[in-house]
Amino acid sequence: DAGVIQSPRHEVTEMGQEVTLRCKPISGHNSLFWYRQTMMRGLELLIYFNNNVPIDDSGMPEDRFSAKMPNASFSTLKIQPSEPRDSAVYFCASSLEGVGYGYTFGSGTRLTVV
Amino acid sequence: KQEVTQIPAALSVPEGENLVLNCSFTDSAIYNLQWFRQDPGKGLTSLLLIQSSQREQTSGRLNASLDKSSGRSTLYIAASQPGDSATYLCAVGTGANSKLTFGKGITLSVRP
């Protein structure tokens, strides 16, 4: 298995633009997590899905952020409009049966909003 | 609210030294605890997963222990090597379907 695949690896965009981050989880994993990592705040969970259904989105910072999981093999995290404070590394992770069985992380998308 | 603390933030040791990385958490009602490794510019790699009913887990030169009552975990690295240089993060899960709460990590440098 190729692991959790995220795209793009790097994204530079101007403030106000829409940004879409993509994730393909490991085949057979039924939980998917989006995290954001910054120097100040470390790793924060934004949202997670179980069997394609959003379970906990309490970490989504505000209405500018939205996430979807239309099927078991694909998820998107969208920011519209983007702001400089959204600059961070965004990680996607997947697991089987939620947190009880460990996570596999993708390589992340480094987002810079100028 | 669960809080996870890892101190110090950075550590430098000579090659061959045995070392211990510490993690503390405020709520002892945890489901499990994981240690991850993160290399610069990379994602996180799971090293060890300890369920709440377990006291320790071992993988090669790594040993992780868990003391729920005191809210602490340690990651022991034996005979450290330059290739062990990375950031090590501790994460606590508070339920089978709840989020992991991460510490900010300890950046380890092993000097040849």
B59 touches chain A (CB under 8 A): no
Alpha carbon distance B35, A103 (integer Å): 11
Contact residues, chain B, for A102 at CB < 8 Å: 34, 46, 49
Q: Nearest residue of B to residue A58 by CA position?
A: B99
A74 touches chain B (CB under 8 A): no
Burial of B100 (0-12, 13-18, 19+ CB in 10 A): buried
What's the gap in Å between the CA of A81 and the closest CA on chain B? 26
- CA angle, B13 then B15 then B21, to 5°: 45
pLDDT tens-digit profile of A66-86? 999 999 999 999 999 999 999
Identify the H or E element spanning B5: strand B4-5
Alpha carbon distance A87, A90 (integer Å): 9
Cis status of the peptide bond prior to A25, with omega within 30 of 0: no
Residue A96 has pLDDT above 90, yes or no: no
B75 touches chain A (CB under 8 A): no
The whole-chain average pLDDT of chain B stands at 93
Residue B98 has pLDDT above 70, yes or no: no
* Percent residues over pLDDT 90 in chain B: 79
